[in-house]
Amino acid sequence: MIRILRSATDIAESRAVLRARGLDFSDPRRLRAWRLIYRMRYRTSLPAADPMKSWDVHQALSILERSHPDRRTPILDMGCFNSEILYALRALGYRRLAGCDLNPMCRWMPYWHRIRYEWCDLTHTPFPDGAFGVLTCISVVEHGVNLDALAAEASRLLRPGGLFILTTDYDASGATHENSVMARHFGQRWSIFDETTLRGLIRCFEHAGFMLLDSSQSELSHTERPVSWSGHDYTFLLAALRAPASA
């Protein structure tokens, strides 16, 4: 399954849905006590969840809830720092939650007494084989992640038939984004996927045994580029892949 953000309106509508369901954590007042603990620990403020990721979070939650309604499903968010998806999953009643990130400050993110946060390389995590039913990876793979290594680690971590949901920056318009490849954000290289490099990403996961959740929903073109950041216009893309049914 591949879905593409079509317009800025979709971002606003997604945030409205999250807010209506009590899943909007973009308001810093929502986690005030946790933010205070974080500030006392690190002498700096915990960044607020980014409203621009509203579509990513809403789409990922929608697919996850539909495919894994059992609130006992173990879920890992890979690249969890400053992502609200674990907070939203907890609000939905999921309790077997974990997150990992290269940023050591992830260990004191909200709900650290109930969510297991690990400071680690996403391609070499400390979790045991087959530990999770779902992996989420929101706006991470564009930041210099070794895709072959990530696919191998995701395959190791997921139970047979488990789900891997990722979102990333994408532009199939043919515009040049060469200087974005040299840019560094969050301490990592940043690049924007195009149709060719996206197909390469999917192949990495296919080589690790994954298949798109629904290959009929794989339209890669788009007419609008509703996201502007660091001098580049692009959109967001979500891909949902199923791990092999058996080892």
CATH number at residue 52: 3.40.50.150
DSSP letter, residue 53: G
In this structure, is residue 155 part of a structural domain?
A: yes
In this structure, is residue 87 part of a structural domain?
A: yes
In this structure, is residue 227 part of a structural domain?
A: yes
To the nearest 10 degrees (0 to 180), the angle between helices 54-67 and 8-20 is 60
Residues 220 and 198 sit within 8 Å (Cβ to Cβ): yes
In this structure, is residue 198 part of a structural domain?
A: yes
Residue 188 has pLDDT above 70, yes or no: no
In this structure, is residue 123 part of a structural domain?
A: yes
State the total domains in the chain.
1
Amino acid 82: pLDDT = 87
pLDDT, mean over the chain: 91
Residue 229 has pLDDT above 90, yes or no: no
In this structure, is residue 247 part of a structural domain?
A: no
User: How far apart are the C-alpha atoms of 135 and 43, rounded to whole Å?
Assistant: 31
Q: Quick one: pLDDT band at residue 180, thresholds 50, 70, 90? A: low
Least confident of 66-75, 98-107, 162-171, 176-185: 176-185
In this structure, is residue 192 part of a structural domain?
A: yes
In this structure, is residue 129 part of a structural domain?
A: yes
* Cβ-Cβ contacts under 8 Å for 119 (sequence gap 6 or more): 100, 101, 102, 103, 104, 106, 107
The structure's pTM equals 0.91
The string of pLDDT tens digits covering residues 58-69 is 999 999 999 999
Least confident of 110-124, 160-174, 220-234: 220-234
Domain extent, residue 209, equals 2-242
Residue 154 has pLDDT above 60, yes or no: yes
The fraction of the chain above a pLDDT of 90, given in percent, is: 72
Amino acid 182: pLDDT = 46
